[in-house]
Amino acid sequence: MKTIKGIPVSEGIAIGRDIVYRKEKIKVKKKKINPDQVKAEIERFNQAISKELKEIQDIIDNYLHNEKEKELISSYILILKDPLLEEKVIKMINESNYTAQYALKLYLQEITESFAKMTNKYLSERFSEYEDVIARVIDHLNGNDNHSEDEVFNNNKEGDYIYVLDDISPSQVAKHYQGIAKGFCLAKGSKTSHTAIISRALGLPVVVGLENLFNEIQTGDELLLNGHTGEVVINYDKATLKKYRSILEEESRQNAELEKTINIPARTADGKKIPLYCNIEIEQEVDTVIRKKADGIGLFRTEYLFIDRDDLPQEEEQFQVYRNIAEKMKDKPVIIRTYDLGGDKIAGTTKHKQENNPFLGCRGIRLSLKKPQIFKTQIKALLRANIHGNIMVMFPMISSPDEVSESIKIIEICKEELKQNKTEHNPNIKIGAMIEIPAAVFCIAELAKMCDFFSIGTNDLVQYTLAADRINKDVERYYNPYHPAILKMINITVANAHRFNRPVSICGEIASDPDFIPLLLGSDIDSLSLNPASVLAVKKKILDTRYDEAKETVRKNMKNNAFKKQD
């Protein structure tokens, strides 16, 4: 038995036999055709592209059930329909008389070089999609319509398999998740890759970053995959299997226990009510928010409407999404954060310049103020959707009051333009700011004059306070939400906001961590906004915690300059 550890990116536990599959690098020999075959070769290339387009459309139509999943796979269609691909390949066939396969290989080489120069993690992760789709077209040209990866799945139709792969494309995850695939161990990948996003949406456990996995795992090994901790146990013994089975049983027992609290409002043991809101990235998550009976949406990360497409979401499209969410949530609050693009979330359509320090660059509200037209489109959609529910707007990456006042001016202009055009909207909208840059913590009094509410984004507050990149594995030990400076920042924010009667929520990941809850309650926060999957566990912790005791713990921790988990 051996245990290796990677990065958990999609939660859950899988038990099964593994299939190890190493993707071959695309092997195509340099080959030329006779000049009189050029026309036929171009025709062959076009047919292969059409075949692949049809296959991708088939995955979209038959295997995927929600818009977000479909959207993720649609990037393949964009690659296949890219006029540059057609132009370059046809030119190579015409001018150099290369076979379509070889021309495609050269095209991929060119793409590889430009991706290699990219420092942006989000964009560089898109390379695997290019590689995957081009390999599939080459398969068609070689007369191999059953792609080699599909064969791995097709040849193994029975049993519970955990796939051990270099990487897997989002299309493959989507196609096989309902079948025998119980989980994936991947050498490559990260939390922000599409593969991770789609696996989370589908509930498949995935561990990535297992750099040495092909030396450690052989086909047929028995595996235990822990998508919570990142552990992969190879050829487990009976005792470990028993342990994992009991973790699974315990998980389902705990879930059943937690379900019992679903109708109880979150209140501390001594009676302080703490509304629980949810963080969402895509519209479909609203169904889980409603099922968990959360009190509203505390953070809708709208940037996901902008990513992975070659156009900008127009006002009407955004309006529909915001309206749907607001209507489903009825009169419950829906806090829509204006797009927080930049950092590791880049939309090609905003023509973002490459930056040396993207997290310190043109991110969040800075980008919105730099491109007011795009910002105005979003604000108008929000004001229109506000007729259908209880929408509030929140600005990300606020570092000074000026950004809020400039943003408010833009909101006022939007209201005026909607009024002039006689477009139905509700101008009464509450305005909030995210407190995620240390400077904002110390400007809270000035911000309170302009804002109705605040939400502390500890994911960023930790990285900016401790100078530790939130996505850099090598500085993980410095990225410590338990650092005393973070407790102080939270307490300064809450105390000052309360002087102006402004409520403060926490929407960073710490709000989803039951261990953190007593420290947040003791810091006097007014509500929490968390991952929908954690609502019941966090509620249970609140029900079991006394507010007066939590306050005392925080007081002591502040005095001792410590920020410890409550025992």
Annotated active-site positions, please?
A: 194, 507
Binding of residue 129 to ligand PEP (CB under 6 A) = no
The residues pairing with 3 across neighbouring beta strands, listed in sequence order, are: 233
Whether 199 and 206 have beta carbons less than 8 Å apart is answered as yes
Beta strand segments in 139-241, E? 161-165, 181-186, 206-208, 222-226, 231-234
Nearer CB in complex with ligand PEP: 299/487: 299
Q: At how many degrees (to 10) do helices 484-499 and 547-559 cross?
A: 120
Size of the site for ligand PEP (CB under 6 A): 10
Among 12, 16, 508, 522, binds ligand PEP (CB under 6 A): 508
Q: What's the closest the beta carbon of residue 501 comes to ligand PEP, in angstroms?
A: 24
Whether 250 and 19 have beta carbons less than 8 Å apart is answered as no
Q: Which part of the chain contacts ligand PEP (CB under 6 A), choosing from 138-146, 191-199, 305-313, 455-463?
A: 455-463
Longest dimension (CA), the chain: 86
Compute the C-alpha angle 358/359/363, nearest 5°: 85
Distance CA 315, CA 134 (A): 34
Among 8, 183, 189, 457, binds ligand PEP (CB under 6 A): 457
Helix (H) or strand (E) holding 145: none
Residue 352, CB half-sphere, CA atoms under 13 Å: how many? Answer: 30
Binding of residue 481 to ligand PEP (CB under 6 A) = no
Question: Among Mg ion, ligand PEP, none, what binds residue 307 when CB lies within 5 to 8 Å by partner kind?
Answer: none
Question: Among Mg ion, ligand PEP, none, what binds residue 507 when CB lies within 5 to 8 Å by partner kind?
Answer: ligand PEP
Residue 284: both structure tokens together: 């479909």
Nearer CB in complex with ligand PEP: 131/344: 344
Nearer CB in complex with ligand PEP: 338/386: 338
Site for ligand PEP, residues 17 to 76, rule: CB under 6 A: none
| Strand pairing report for 222-226 and 333-337 | unpaired
Q: Environment class of residue 17 by beta-carbon count within 10 Å: exposed (0-12), middle (13-18) or buried (19+)? A: middle
Nearer CB in complex with ligand PEP: 210/497: 497
Question: Among ligand PEP, Mg ion, none, what binds residue 308 when CB lies within 5 to 8 Å by partner kind?
Answer: none
Among 267, 301, 546, 551, binds ligand PEP (CB under 6 A): 301
Binding of residue 460 to ligand PEP (CB under 6 A) = yes
Nearer CB in complex with Mg ion: 18/436: 436
Distance CA 230, CA 236 (A): 16
Residue 81: both structure tokens together: 């329909």
Nearer CB in complex with ligand PEP: 92/394: 394
Whether 267 and 542 have beta carbons less than 8 Å apart is answered as yes
Q: Which part of the chain contacts ligand PEP (CB under 6 A), choosing from 29-37, 424-432, 442-450, 451-459?
A: 451-459
Question: Among Mg ion, ligand PEP, none, what binds residue 508 when CB lies within 5 to 8 Å by partner kind?
Answer: ligand PEP
Distance CA 533, CA 555 (A): 30
Among 156, 459, 531, 566, binds ligand PEP (CB under 6 A): 459
Site for ligand PEP, residues 315 to 344, rule: CB under 6 A: 340
Q: What's the closest the beta carbon of residue 463 comes to ligand PEP, in angstroms?
A: 8
Nearer CB in complex with ligand PEP: 223/489: 489
Q: Which part of the chain contacts ligand PEP (CB under 6 A), choosing from 5-13, 193-201, 246-254, 458-466?
A: 458-466
Residue 322: both structure tokens together: 């915001």
Q: What's the closest the beta carbon of residue 364 comes to ligand PEP, in angstroms?
A: 8
**Residues at the site binding Mg ion, with contacts judged by CB under 5 A:** 436, 457, 460
Q: Which 8-state DSSP code applies to residue 162?
A: E
Q: What's the closest the beta carbon of residue 355 comes to ligand PEP, in angstroms?
A: 16
Nearer CB in complex with ligand PEP: 135/280: 280
Q: How many CB atoms lie within 10 A of CB 163?
A: 26
Q: What's the closest the beta carbon of residue 427 comes to Mg ion, in angstroms?
A: 27
* Four-residue CA torsion sign, 14, 539, 549, 269: negative
Q: How many CB atoms lie within 10 A of CB 143?
A: 6
Question: Among ligand PEP, Mg ion, none, what binds residue 243 when CB lies within 5 to 8 Å by partner kind?
Answer: none
Distance CA 221, CA 230 (A): 18
State the residue for tokens 């954060």.
337
Number of residue whose CB is nearest ligand PEP: 457
State the residue for tokens 């006689």.
422
Distance CA 279, CA 530 (A): 5
Q: What's the closest the beta carbon of residue 418 comes to ligand PEP, in angstroms?
A: 28
Binding site for ligand PEP (CB under 6 A): 299, 301, 340, 436, 457-460, 507-508
